[in-house]
Structures are given as structure tokens and as C-alpha cells.
Structure 1
Amino acid sequence: LRRHDPEGLLKMPDAGWDWINRCEGPFKQALDRTKYATRYPDADPEAERAKAAAHLAALDAQIGTYIFDTPSLADMAIAPFVRQFAFIDKPWFDAQPWPQLQAWLDRFLTSQAFAAVMDKYPQWAEGDAPTVFPA
């Protein structure tokens, strides 16, 4: 993006990097301990969900149409993690008082850009031949 940023994704306030770091750090840790609770037997998944929810409540307060005035790298970096958390328990997520966050996530999920990178492929099964690419 430093060489070619046609959508201006790097044009964001410095706070964008803080949001990204908070998402990749404390939020991702809480997300993993919620979604993959059996991998973390010493963690309380409900307490971890509450930690993630606090992060998302703060994000909801920050969001207008986007995290900042225009789409930025922060939106693109954070949305996949929010999507992953939302689909742990979508009815629960949808019932939360986060209208800005929910609308923002919905715009992301229904965007052409998201559709373009989320092609569906047949599920690989044991014994399938690997794809061989020409040299």
C-alpha cells in the first residue's frame, strides 16, 4: 500500500494503528478463548466473551459509516476479526446494543470487495490429489 494505495486506505489518523493493535492483541486473545474454549481450559469463555464485548462496544462508539471518515486500513484489518467473533453466536451478536458496529459489519459482508476475496471452493477431503501448478 505504501507503493500503490488507490483507495487511500493508509490515509487514516494515527488512532487507526491503535485500533488495529488492540484488535490483534487483547480482542483476538478474547476471541480465541471464546471461540476455541476447549483449547484454553484455564480460561472462562463467558469472561472472555465479556472482554471482547467491551472492545466491540468501544468500537461501536467510534464507528460512523467507517471507523474514521472514510474507509481505511483499520476497517479492512479489523472487520475479519469482528466477523469471526460475530459468527460464534450470531443471534447473540445481533441482540447486542451495537447498531453502528452491526451496520458496519453488514456493509463489509455484503461488499463487492468481500465477495471478490471470498470465493467458495470445494472442500478438500483426505485422499484428494493436490493441485499441481505448472512451473
Structure 2
Amino acid sequence: MTMPILYSLRQCPYAMRSRLGILHAQQTVVLRDIDMKNKPEEMLSISPKGTVPVLQLSDGKVIDESLDVMIWALTQSDPNNLFYSHDKQKLPQMLELIHRSDHEFVDALQKYRAASRYHDSNKEECRERCCEWLMEIEHVLTQHTYIMGEKVSLVDYAILPFIRQFSRVDKKWYAQAPLPYLRAWLVNHYNDPTFSKAMFTYPKWHKDADDIIFGDF
């Protein structure tokens, strides 16, 4: 194996953030978009938990947490300074905010999506829990264009897929929600060509398929 292999799934927010990290780090991998109903043995043999993303490096090492994939990629190369290396305090702050998002916001988001899908009466309550967290981001975005400052950072791309999910649960409500700066922030990402690259639809992988090379090359 001469190139890392990334097992992925286009619509999975965790896989999406790993793709964004790889693109912004200008790394190149073999992309295997999988069918979650028919998970390949090649993936399960290296990561039995059966979730994506899974990155198998050229030396055989396996990374199967999405944030770790991002950090690995950007440690190789960070041309846009997503780590804010000029300020050593920033990266720990980003990681803490991502951790909070992954536990506080994502938990509330999953309940909101389920309540909307099944028309539960507590949909508004679940949405309000999401908004309590998002208002912190909204406040930050009133001060600068991106979450850590005027330039985009690791945390923007790490939470982007989940805020995108939130915006799509009830599009009519979201369009008029008291989150104007968050909406502008999301549109900025949508207009970024790198986002389009990350969201490109590839054929599902099978063991006889040709390799798909993914990355900034």
C-alpha cells in the first residue's frame, strides 16, 4: 500500500469533516465510499466498530475518529494555517469547542432530527436545546467572520457538517431564525469550492472497483 486509504460516506457528517481536513491539508488518499448496509470486510478487519471515517495509513496504522483524521492531515501540511499556529492558545480552545459540540450540540441535534422525522410533540423543545448552543456561535460570529477570528480554522470545518444538518431539519424555520450571522457563515462555506469537492458523489466502492484518488492534487 503506497497511499492512505479513506473509507468514507458522503452524507455522514463525521466523514465529511475528514474529507474537508484532507482537502485543506492538500493530502491525497484512495477514497472508498462504502454502503453502510453492506460494509466491506476490508474496513471491518481494521476497524471492527464499523463506522466511518476510517483512514488506513501507508504504514498500516489505522485512524478511525474523524477529528483525529483531520489532525493527522493538517499535521502533515497546514497551508491555510487552520491550526492558528501563530497563537499557541488557539488550538486547545478549538479542540475544547469541538469536544463540546460533539457532545452537547450533536446530542441535541440527533434528538431534534428524530423528533422532526417522527413528528414528535417535543420537536420545538429539542430545537431550543440546539439553539442554546448555537447562540454562543452566533455571538462569536458577530465579532469576526469565522469562529476563531477573521480567518477560517480547524473548528469551523469540524462543526460545519453538523450545523449543515441542523439547517436542513426545518428549512423554513431556519431561514427566519434569529441566527443571521450563522446563516452567513454557512453560506460562506457553501460558496467555497473546497466544500463542493468534499461533497462530490462517488460510486460506492467494491473490491473489484478501480481506485478513486481523492485530495488536493
TM-score by length of 2: 0.53
Match of 1:6 among 76, 79, 84: 79
Q: Pick closer, same or farther for the CA change 1:35–1:17 going to 2, 3 Å.
A: same
Identity of aligned residues (%): 33
Match of 2:145 among 38, 59, 65: 65
Which has a greater percent of helix? 1
Match of 2:188 among 107, 121, 124: 107
| 2:208 is equivalent to residue 132 of structure 1 | yes
CA distance in 1, matches of 2:96, 2:206: 41
Contact 1:60 1:98 in 2 (8 A): yes
Alignment deviations for residues 82-124 of structure 1 (CA, whole Å, 9 cap, x no partner):
00000001121121111211100011112111011111357x7
User: How is 1:1-135 mapped onto 2 (pairs within 5 angstroms)?
Assistant: 1-11=74-84, 13=90, 14-37=92-115, 44-63=122-141, 64-69=144-149, 70-121=151-202, 130=206, 132-133=208-209
Aligned positions, number: 129
Q: Pick closer, same or farther for the CA change 1:52–1:68 going to 2, 3 Å.
A: same
CA distance in 1, matches of 2:182, 2:197: 22
CA distance in 1, matches of 2:206, 2:77: 34
User: Where do 5+ consecutive residues of structure 2 fail to align?
Assistant: 1-73, 212-217
Alignment deviations for residues 10-49 of structure 1 (CA, whole Å, 9 cap, x no partner):
1171322222112111100010001123899x99332221
Greater Cα shift, 62-71 or 26-35: 62-71
Which has a greater percent of strand? 2
CA distance in 1, matches of 2:171, 2:117: 21
CA distance in 1, matches of 2:164, 2:83: 22
User: Where do 5+ consecutive residues of structure 1 fail to align?
Assistant: none
Greater Cα shift, 8-17 or 59-68: 8-17
Greater Cα shift, 5-14 or 42-51: 42-51
